[in-house]
Chain A
Amino acid sequence: MRLFVLTLVVALAGCGGASPRIKVSDAWARATAPGQTGGAIYATIVNDGGADELVGVSTGAGNAMLHSNESVDGVARMRMMAALPVPARSRVTLAPGAVHVMLGGLKAPLAAGSSFPATFTFAKSGARTVEVAVVAAGSR
């Protein structure tokens, strides 16, 4: 019995202990022009608990994919990311020119002043659905 408890304690410690406490806030997107099929969602992820991972985003507005942006020798390259780590007790910002949720195949232009729901899925915490505020393209 003592051995079992000891094993359990070790196993829990190995998991990193605390479960994540994830909150997604300030989700926003720039308005897009008619005919423009691509856009991006930006947001802030605050985690007051243990480590987690953002593994996907989905929205009815279009196809959503996690993208990183890297600049190599002054050339911007967008690349898909399978997952975005959200470390324990951290704030991860999806910001212009950096990691963002790329929207493809937009069904309709994103109009400034409107909003649409998007679901952020985390490996441990599950889904968080937030409203994405569409702002004028030049405002942010």
Chain B
Amino acid sequence: MLGKLRIVLWGLVLVAGAALAFLLTRPEQKLPAPTQTELPLAAIGGPFTLVGADGQPFGSTKLAGKPFAIFFGFTHCPDVCPTTLARLTRLRRELGKGDDSFAIVFVSVDPERDGPAEVGKYAELFDTPVIGLTGSQAQVDQVKKQYAVFSAKAPQPGGDYSVDHTASVFVMDRAGKFVSTIAPEESDSVALAKLRRVTG
């Protein structure tokens, strides 16, 4: 009787040992390959100089003292960019603290096609203040790096091209510090809560 129990107990020890060995040696779960530069969140943002719709240099100091929501896209973008900007203007209305509560900033990642006039006319579409910015390729690349934004040309039939790009909005506080992102798939109530945090 005791002998049988001993065999069962040793059996359990073996099972536990095997389970432990499996846990220790199983391969780590593969993470999807990162498609954008990994930056510590606190490092997102920082001073930049781009070009405004008037063709004059636009320094980030012009945004100082006011929270802002910054989005990267291109004016030929038929869906995601106008959808995101329309959403931001709607959220700003719903917040009910006026057009001054936070700035909406649109940065073109397609400076080849988007000059100051193009981003200016695009920003004016929304009937509420939107700051449209572009710059030299080097200036745009620098800001993309600061915000860990990815973009790449995607050729279209007929020689045209679209641009794949990071679709999240970056919410920055009054001091220009990164607070959170707003992803397209997030609900309006979540997005509003994030905007309230910086405009409160």
Q: A69-88 interface mask toward B, CB cutoff 8 Å, 1 = contact, 0 = none?
A: 10111111110100000000
Residue of A with least CB distance to B32:
A73
| Residue contacts A-B, CB under 8 angstroms, 8 given | A33-B75, A33-B124, A71-B167, A73-B32, A76-B80, A76-B165, A104-B156, A138-B127
Q: Decide: A75 and B127 in contact? CB cutoff 8 A.
A: no
Does A115 make an interface contact (CB < 8 A)? Answer: no
Q: Decide: B78 and A38 in contact? CB cutoff 8 A.
A: yes
Residue of A with least CB distance to B184:
A97
Task: State how many residues of chain B have any CB contact under 8 Å with chain A.
Answer: 40
Contacts of A97-116 to chain B: CB distance below 8 A: 97, 100, 102-105
Q: Decide: B184 and A71 in contact? CB cutoff 8 A.
A: yes
Q: B76-102 interface mask toward A, CB cutoff 8 Å, 1 = contact, 0 = none?
A: 111110110110011000000000000
Does B197 make an interface contact (CB < 8 A)? Answer: no
Does A51 make an interface contact (CB < 8 A)? Answer: no
Contacts of B109-162 to chain A: CB distance below 8 A: 117-118, 121-122, 124-128, 150, 154, 156-158, 160, 162
- For the complex with contacts A38-B77, A75-B167, A139-B86, 13 further pairs of A-B residues with Cβ separation under 8 Å are A30-B86, A33-B122, A36-B118, A36-B121, A37-B160, A38-B76, A72-B35, A74-B168, A75-B166, A76-B80, A78-B80, A103-B78, A137-B126
How distant is the Cα of A33 from the Cα of B85 in the complex, in angstroms?
14
Q: Decide: A137 and B85 in contact? CB cutoff 8 A.
A: yes
Known: A35-B118, A104-B160. A97 touches B183 (CB 8 A): no
Task: State how many residues of chain A have any CB contact under 8 Å with chain B.
Answer: 35
A82 to chain B, nearest CB (A): 12
Q: Decide: A36 and B122 in contact? CB cutoff 8 A.
A: yes
A36 to chain B, nearest CB (A): 5
In the complex, which residues of chain A have a beta carbon less than 8 angstroms from the beta carbon of B79? Answer: 40, 67, 69, 78, 96-97, 100, 102
Q: Decide: B80 and A137 in contact? CB cutoff 8 A.
A: no
How distant is the Cα of A69 from the Cα of B75 in the complex, in angstroms?
17
Q: Decide: A75 and B121 in contact? CB cutoff 8 A.
A: no
In the complex, which residues of chain A have a beta carbon less than 8 angstroms from the beta carbon of B54? Answer: none
In the complex, which residues of chain A have a beta carbon less than 8 angstroms from the beta carbon of B150? Answer: 75
How distant is the Cα of A71 from the Cα of B181 in the complex, in angstroms?
15
In the complex, which residues of chain A have a beta carbon less than 8 angstroms from the beta carbon of B184? Answer: 71, 76, 97
Does A39 make an interface contact (CB < 8 A)? Answer: yes
Does A34 make an interface contact (CB < 8 A)? Answer: yes
Does A31 make an interface contact (CB < 8 A)? Answer: yes
Does A9 make an interface contact (CB < 8 A)? Answer: no
B185 to chain A, nearest CB (A): 7
Contacts of A26-60 to chain B: CB distance below 8 A: 30-40
Known: A71-B185, A100-B79, A139-B86. A78 touches B124 (CB 8 A): no
Residue of A with least CB distance to B168:
A74
Does B40 make an interface contact (CB < 8 A)? Answer: no
Does A2 make an interface contact (CB < 8 A)? Answer: no
In the complex, which residues of chain B have a beta carbon less than 8 angstroms from the beta carbon of A37? Answer: 76, 160
The 10 A-B pairs with the shortest beta carbon distances in the complex, nearest first, are: A76-B167, A38-B78, A96-B83, A137-B125, A33-B121, A138-B126, A40-B78, A138-B89, A38-B76, A76-B80
How distant is the Cα of A58 from the Cα of B75 in the complex, in angstroms?
22
